[in-house]
């Protein structure tokens, strides 16, 4: 039998070796779980008492993870993403966004980033976003003469935003493993996620202004609307959307008031945006929107609607999913189910629904979910075996015993996340590493976390560390040699674009990601803005 220090060293090099030879992470983790238990307890103790030894504890841990209710949301979000991709909703959204920014320098790249944000807010799926953007945006950017590295980097970096922006599956799994509020994680990740997306867009704008040859402007079409009129049309479209939602919310409040459902009662939570005082507020929004649209004219309203109607379906889906969560109507899992129903209804209304579409989406969902579940089982087994062997306590004592400054501990953890993210899947990392790292972070002095801003409250530390982890995994999707975004794009890119070309396109965006990560490390209070 081996001591835990020797086991830790063997485990570290063994997992790198197994992944390097191409063994799937789930199989590698399960194999090493058995090896760890064997090295720690010996074969006699391991197998001598069937159903009572360490293997039984590991099995119980796997059962506990796989029977978690929140886990049901994962296949539902994946299914929703596949429906969005196959139904044409995403393609029409891209076309509508492109209409508004077609005469802007770097407009198509900016549209790609905005579309990625919207797709992330609808489903939180990463691989599907990169593939979809590669199919829709890459050919158009290359046709118009965009710099190849700029096009590649924009698609892959923006397509990976589903890691950060709610409803992120990474956050769901992290919350499930660490027993952290998923709703709080979603709320905390809003600002960092949109900050990172803004950095991408700012970089595109600056680069294309300094190097116009990287993003040539397309020739104006015969029906091209002049800039001033396009601004008026865009404001008209916004007025239509605001007026429509204000009307729906107004009718909702009126219904609750008539039926007496929004009466203030002791011990009963108030209905979000549903109390009687909102009647006046939503009524004013309705009247202002109606007056503005009347001023713009019915002809301009029709034109604006035709130009932007591709954005309506995504807005509805986002409203259903995130609105039901933050409106206190449903939990995460139920919101995912409502999102699926909303997409199915929209697909039927658009006359794009078919049995082949449904069947193909289900097959893709089963394939993706199966991969996640298999990795989850293997990584959970390894994490459980290492925990039983005393690994987390050993590493915690080693780090604490070194008496390093608090932020140096965080810095080392970030480097380890970046290193591991370049070699293995995020599911394995959160299952393997988080049970070790999070208890250490929770023991660190709260007042010493970060360099700027107000200190976190103790209950916010796990949330902040979860958002940090997601930001790291955002980097890992682009990091060579195994950055999955590169392989996703390669599967749909033209033959002349090699993996080397794709990784070259990543470099500026990886720097931007590390900048955003550094800001989040230095100023933890960013996550508290909406908490």
**Are 205 and 106 spatial neighbours (Cβ–Cβ below 8 Å)?**
yes
For every residue of 231-272, which 3-state class applies, written as one string? HHHHHHHHHHHHHHHHHHHHHHHHHHHHHCCCCCCCCCCCCC
Stated pTM of the model: 0.84
Which of 341, 349, 332 is closest to 83 using CA atoms? 341
DSSP single-letter state for residue 314: H
Token pair of 300 as six digits: 């301009």
Q: How far apart are CA 8 and CA 4, in angstroms?
A: 6
Q: How far apart are CA 405 and CA 282, in angstroms?
A: 52
- CA 119, 124, 129: angle at the middle one, nearest 5? 50
Which of 227, 277, 209 is closest to 249 using CA atoms? 277
Token pair of 175 as six digits: 């919350």
Which of 196, 194, 204, 199 is closest to 121 using CA atoms? 194
In the chain, what's the furthest Cα-to-Cα distance?
Answer: 84
Alpha helices in 124-226 (DSSP H): 127-143, 148-159, 169-178, 182-210
**Are 340 and 81 spatial neighbours (Cβ–Cβ below 8 Å)?**
no
Which of 414, 238, 233, 408 is closest to 315 using CA atoms? 238
Q: What is the pLDDT of residue 197?
A: 92
- What distances in angstroms separate CA 483 from CA 231, 315, 366, 434, one per listed residue? 39, 31, 23, 21
- CA 149, 153, 159: angle at the middle one, nearest 5? 150
Walk along the chain (531 residues) and give the pLDDT tens digit of each residue.
677 888 888 887 887 788 778 787 778 888 888 888 888 877 665 555 555 666 777 777 777 777 777 788 888 888 888 888 788 888 888 888 888 887 788 888 998 899 888 888 876 666 677 888 888 888 888 888 899 999 999 998 888 888 888 888 888 888 888 888 988 999 999 999 999 999 999 999 999 999 999 988 877 666 667 777 888 888 999 999 999 989 988 998 898 888 887 777 766 677 777 788 888 999 999 999 999 999 988 999 999 998 888 888 888 888 888 888 877 777 888 888 888 998 899 899 888 888 888 898 888 888 888 877 887 788 788 877 887 778 777 777 777 666 788 888 899 888 888 887 777 777 778 877 888 888 888 888 898 898 888 888 989 999 999 999 988 888 888 887 667 888 878 877 888 888 888 888 888 999 999 999 999 999 999 999 887
**Are 141 and 109 spatial neighbours (Cβ–Cβ below 8 Å)?**
yes
Which of 182, 198, 78, 112 is closest to 467 using CA atoms? 182
Q: What is the pLDDT of residue 162?
A: 82
| Region of residue 319 (left: phi > 0; alpha: psi -120 to 50; beta: else) | alpha
Domain ranges of the chain: 71-144+209-360
Q: How far apart are CA 475 and CA 300, in angstroms?
A: 43
Handedness of CA 244, 90, 198, 99 (dihedral sign): negative
Backbone angles phi, psi at 124, to 5 degrees: 70, 15
**Are 233 and 299 spatial neighbours (Cβ–Cβ below 8 Å)?**
no
Q: How far apart are CA 472 and CA 420, in angstroms?
A: 10
Token pair of 466 as six digits: 């979860």
Handedness of CA 251, 322, 64, 27 (dihedral sign): positive
Q: How far apart are CA 49 and CA 38, in angstroms?
A: 14
For residue 133, the Cα-to-chain-centroid distance in whole angstroms is 16
Q: Is residue 441 classed as helix, strand or coil in its secondary structure?
A: helix
* The total number of residues written for the chain in this structure: 531
């Amino acid at each position: 039998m081996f001591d835990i220090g020797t086991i830790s060293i063997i485990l570290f090099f063994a997992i790198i070796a197994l992944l390097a030879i191409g063994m799937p992470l789930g199989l590698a983790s399960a194999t090493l779980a058995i090896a760890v238990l064997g090295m720690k307890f010996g074969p006699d103790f391991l197998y001598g008492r069937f159903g009572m030894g360490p293997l039984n504890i590991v099995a119980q841990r796997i059962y506990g993870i796989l029977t978690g209710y929140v886990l049901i949301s994962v296949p539902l979000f994946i299914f929703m993403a596949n429906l969005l991709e196959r139904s044409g909703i995403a393609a029409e959204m891209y076309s509508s966004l492109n209409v508004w920014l077609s005469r802007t320098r770097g407009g198509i790249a900016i549209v790609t980033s905005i579309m990625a944000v919207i797709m992330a807010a609808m489903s939180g799926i990463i691989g599907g976003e990169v593939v979809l953007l590669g199919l829709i945006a890459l050919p158009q950017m290359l046709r118009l003469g965009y710099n190849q590295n700029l096009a590649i980097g924009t698609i892959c970096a923006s397509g990976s935003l589903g890691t950060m922006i709610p409803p992120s599956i990474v956050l769901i799994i992290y919350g499930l493993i660490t027993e952290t509020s998923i709703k709080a994680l979603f709320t905390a990740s809003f600002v960092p996620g949109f900050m990172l997306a803004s950095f991408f867009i700012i970089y595109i704008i600056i680069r294309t202004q300094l190097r116009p040859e990287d993003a040539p402007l397309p020739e104006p079409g015969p029906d091209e609307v002049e800039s001033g009129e396009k601004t008026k049309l865009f404001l008209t479209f916004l007025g239509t959307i605001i007026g429509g939602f204000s009307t729906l919310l107004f009718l909702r409040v009126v219904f609750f008031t008539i039926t007496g459902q929004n009466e203030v009662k002791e011990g009963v939570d108030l209905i979000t945006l549903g109390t009687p005082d909102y009647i006046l507020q939503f009524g004013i929004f309705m009247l202002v929107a109606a007056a503005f649209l009347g001023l713009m004219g019915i002809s301009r309203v029709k034109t604006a609607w035709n130009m932007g109607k591709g954005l309506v379906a995504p807005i509805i889906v986002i409203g259903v999913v995130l609105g039901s969560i933050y409106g206190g109507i449903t939990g995460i899992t139920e919101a995912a189910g409502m999102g699926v129903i909303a997409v199915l209804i929209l697909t039927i209304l658009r006359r794009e629904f078919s049995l082949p579409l449904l069947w193909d989406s289900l097959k893709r969902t089963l394939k993706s979910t199966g991969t996640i579940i298999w990795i989850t089982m293997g990584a959970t087994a390894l994490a459980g075996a290492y925990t039983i062997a005393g690994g987390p306590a050993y590493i915690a004592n080693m780090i604490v015993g070194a008496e390093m400054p608090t932020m140096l501990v965080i810095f080392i953890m970030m480097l380890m996340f970046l290193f591991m993210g370049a070699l293995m899947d995020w599911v394995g990392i959160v299952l393997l590493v988080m049970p070790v790292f999070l208890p250490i972070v929770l023991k660190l002095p709260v007042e010493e976390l970060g360099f700027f801003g107000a200190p976190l409250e103790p209950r916010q530390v796990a949330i902040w560390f979860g958002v940090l982890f997601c930001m790291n995994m955002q980097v890992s999707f682009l990091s060579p040699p195994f950055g999955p975004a590169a392989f996703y794009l390669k599967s749909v890119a033209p033959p002349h674009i090699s993996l080397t070309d794709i990784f070259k396109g990543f470099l500026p965006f990886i720097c931007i990601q590390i900048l955003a990560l550094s800001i989040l490390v230095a100023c933890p209070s960013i996550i508290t803005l909406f908490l």
